[in-house]
Amino acid sequence: MTCVIPVENINYWRHPSLAGIELSQAKFTHFSFDKHVHLDYHLGVVTQGAQQFVNKGCSYQLGQQSLSTLNPDETHDGQSCYAEGYCVNVMSIPVAYMNEISQELGIKEHFFSAPMVDDPRLYHYFTQLHEQLIQGQFSELASESHLLYFLHLLLQRHPAQAIKLSPQQGLSPLQLNVIKQHIHDEPWQNTQLATLATEVNLSKFQFLRQFKQATGMTPHAYLKRVRLELAKKSLSRGVLVADVAQQLGFFDQSHLNKAFKHAFLLSPVQFQRRML
């Protein structure tokens, strides 16, 4: 059956017994995600249509029967494969939560070796779990039990593999970590390009070019996305929109509203109402 989607639409949920975990369900026709990163693991399935995206320079097509497995801080984009659009269900898993489960399985930390897996069993389990969580069909005990079972199944069926390093492009991993740590530690700062370049002993031009080679994003775009991801977390805790804007370095609440809506198709207030 063809998925006919008249308008762009996205909804968010936060299950009361699953702290820090964000659920979303969306329908996209013309909306395209710019290159961006997340602070958490993002797992998702397409229930109608198909999505195409680029991750680490490779193109992928996420259709039915596959599960997206995006690691934190990995640059990617996203758009519909077809004019009819696509429907997608996504679950955001905090790093600490995933690390706890990984350690129980004897894994120091887990990073998926590919941004998607073809696994009909996991696809159907995730689809049912996501739907039951947003509809509140589980008790608190059952909710976390089913989620833990799914994540154990995912990590066991698709264990982390050694990552083959391609020839170095742009900043070294050490240099990149220094810059990213600076941004994550002080996202509210009006950081200057010269300051970041100096930290890795490069000229402004060299740094700008090499950062984009390494991440696919400009330093400004990366900083802006980190601020928006942190804004979502603050809003989910009930922090006032004006305070979020001030705490994260946005010029004012209007600038936060505009950037947030461009990225997530909802205003900060609309998002917060869904999450509280």
Residue-wise pLDDT tens digits, 19-54? 899 999 999 999 999 999 999 999 999 999 999 999
Q: Is residue 4 in some structural domain?
A: no
Q: Is residue 162 in some structural domain?
A: no
Q: How many domains does the chain have?
A: 2
Q: Are residues 85 and 143 in the same domain?
A: yes
Based on its alpha-carbon atoms, the radius of gyration of the chain, rounded to whole angstroms, reads 19
Q: Are residues 213 and 260 in the same domain?
A: yes
Q: Is 173 helix (H, G, I), strand (E, B) or coil?
A: helix
Q: Are residues 151 and 219 in the same domain?
A: no
Q: Are residues 142 and 80 in the same domain?
A: yes
**CA atoms of 47 and 25, how far apart (whole Å):** 10
What confidence tier does 1 reach under pLDDT thresholds 50, 70, 90?
A: very low
**CA atoms of 184 and 176, how far apart (whole Å):** 12
DSSP states of 10-55? EEEEE-TTSTT-EEEEEEESS--EEEE--SSEEEEEEEES-EEEEE
What confidence tier does 222 reach under pLDDT thresholds 50, 70, 90?
A: very high
So what's the pLDDT on residue 3? Answer: 47
**Among the listed residues 81, 78, 85, 88, the one whose alpha carbon sits nearest the alpha carbon of residue 26:** 88
pTM, two decimal places: 0.88
Q: What is the residue range of 271's domain?
A: 173-275
